[in-house]
Amino acid sequence: MLSFIVKRVGQSVLVLLVTGLVAFSMFTFVGDPIDNMLGQERTMEDVERLRAQLGLDKPFVVQYFRFLEQAAQGNFGISYRQGRPVAEILMERAPATLELAAVSGVLAIVMGIGLGVFTAIRRNGVAANLIMSISLIGVSLPTFLIGILLIYLFSVELGWLPSFGRGETVHIGGWSTGFLTESGLKALILPAITLGLYQMTLIMRLVRSEMLEVLRQDYIRFARARGLGDRVVNFRHALKNTMVPVITVIGLQLGSIIAFAIITETVFQWPGVGLLFINAIQFVDIPVMAAYLMLISVMFVAINLLVDILYAMIDPRLRAAS
């Protein structure tokens, strides 16, 4: 077990070093930072001095390790577009994305498992079939169209909910939250549904197929033969045994929620990290792009590592295979 963990951690570190290299090379690929920092009227001495001052005269490898060292301390440089430290901007934007992701994640898990169980138990019922057909459309509908559809229905036609922004926020320490004001909660509804819908259909379909598989097993038949009630059989015996693959997928989907938040945030002009990233691409704001890349790869690698280790703990066969 220990050698498995060491090996996986080693791989993760390697992945981070590679993404770090990609992030770092963006700076060198895309123009000379000196050009960005000094104006038209500059002398060769100015250029040389700044180059030495910034350490740009050092070899590539040395510069790369300096970049990693700084990045590990949370220093990603200064945004070309906003002229402020990237770390500061990210900290300011993070609460919006995290709150949105948390709400839509909970929504996806609760609704996904609930509907999955429902469609598996009543698998020939009208309602279950209807839900399955709708979910098929939901999977092929691009996220941004779902967002626009919701805006059209609930903001333009009905006028019930706001179509953009976060509403009023309350600052607690360094964290700005929309959970405590009415407008903040209202503004959260549509983006959370948009973001959670795809994950919800994914979880629902998985739970359904796993449930159908388990419900066919002999021990379920035996449980029914013993005269146990439907509720006990369905939830205590069947649902419990579908949870291993479901938890894995949920774990892996956590990362996707943050990534897909980019689309939802753009549709709803939600002031989070994703919208920041899209704007950074539009204006080729390299420090912000690099920081976002590093941040998201740390997150993805950590989630993958955790899921793998958990999996190996649950299923000993995987340990032997590696």
Partner 1 sequence: MNRFLDSDVFYAFRTSPVAIVSLIVTVLMVLAAVFAPLIATTNPFDPASLNLMNGFTAPMEPNAFTGESFFLGTDDQGRDVFSTILYGLRISLFVGVAAVMLAMVIGIFLGLLSGYVGGWTETIIMRAADVQLTFPSILVAMLIFGVAKGVTPVEYRDQMAIWVLILAIGLSDWVQFARVVRGATLVEKSKDYVAAARLIGRSPLTIMIRHILPNVLSPVLVIATISLALAIIAEATLSFLGVGAPATQPSLGTLIRIGQGFLFSGEWWILLFPACTLLVLALAVNLLGDWLRDALNPRLR
State the minimum distance, in angstroms, from the CB of residue 44 to partner 1. Answer: 24
For partner 1, the closer of residues 146 and 188 by Cβ is 146
By CB under 8 A, is residue 260 in contact with partner 1? yes
By CB under 8 A, is residue 97 in contact with partner 1? no
Window of 125-133, 203-211, 251-259, 310-318 that interacts with partner 1 by CB under 8 A: 251-259
For partner 1, the closer of residues 12 and 176 by Cβ is 12
Distance CA(277)–CA(291), nearest Å, equals 9
By CB under 8 A, is residue 197 in contact with partner 1? no
Residue with tokens 């509403």: 167
By CB under 8 A, is residue 82 in contact with partner 1? no
Binding residues for partner 1, how many (CB under 8 A)?
A: 40
Q: Considering only residues 141, 189, 212, 247, which one is a binding residue for partner 1 as defined by CB under 8 A?
A: 141
Window of 114-122, 138-146, 174-182, 313-321 that interacts with partner 1 by CB under 8 A: 138-146
Distance CA(196)–CA(100), nearest Å, equals 9
Window of 36-44, 127-135, 188-196, 279-287 that interacts with partner 1 by CB under 8 A: 279-287
For partner 1, the closer of residues 26 and 189 by Cβ is 26
By CB under 8 A, is residue 145 in contact with partner 1? yes
By CB under 8 A, is residue 280 in contact with partner 1? yes
Query: Coil, helix or strand for 79?
Result: coil
Phi and psi based region of residue 165 (left: phi greater than 0; alpha: psi -120 to 50; beta: remaining)? left
Window of 46-54, 68-76, 254-262, 310-318 that interacts with partner 1 by CB under 8 A: 254-262
Distance CA(256)–CA(33), nearest Å, equals 33
Q: For residue 47, with 0-12 CB atoms within 10 Å meaning exposed, 13-18 middle and 19 or more buried, which class applies?
A: middle
Distance CA(32)–CA(36), nearest Å, equals 7
Contacts of 107 (CB under 8 A, 6+ apart): 192, 193, 196, 200
By CB under 8 A, is residue 259 in contact with partner 1? yes
Query: Coil, helix or strand for 260?
Result: helix
Residue with tokens 């740009």: 56
φ and ψ at residue 107, rounded to 5 degrees: -60, -45
Q: For residue 23, with 0-12 CB atoms within 10 Å meaning exposed, 13-18 middle and 19 or more buried, which class applies?
A: buried
Window of 175-183, 185-193, 233-241, 299-307 that interacts with partner 1 by CB under 8 A: 299-307
φ and ψ at residue 177, rounded to 5 degrees: -115, 145
- Per CB under 8 A, which of residues 10..49 are in contact with partner 1? 15, 18, 22, 26, 29-31
Helices 286-314 and 243-267 sit at what angle, rounded to 10 degrees?
170
Q: Considering only residues 289, 291, 295, 312, which one is a binding residue for partner 1 as defined by CB under 8 A?
A: 289
Among residues 156, 139, 146, 142, the alpha carbon closest in space to that of 192 is found at 146
Look up residue 152 and give its two tokens: 């059209």
Window of 49-57, 123-131, 194-202, 289-297 that interacts with partner 1 by CB under 8 A: 289-297
State the minimum distance, in angstroms, from the CB of residue 230 to partner 1. Answer: 32
Q: Footprint of partner 1 on this chain (CB under 8 A)?
A: 15, 18, 22, 26, 29-31, 137, 140-145, 148, 151-152, 156, 163, 255-256, 259-260, 262-263, 266, 277-278, 280-282, 284, 286, 289, 293, 296-297, 300-301, 304
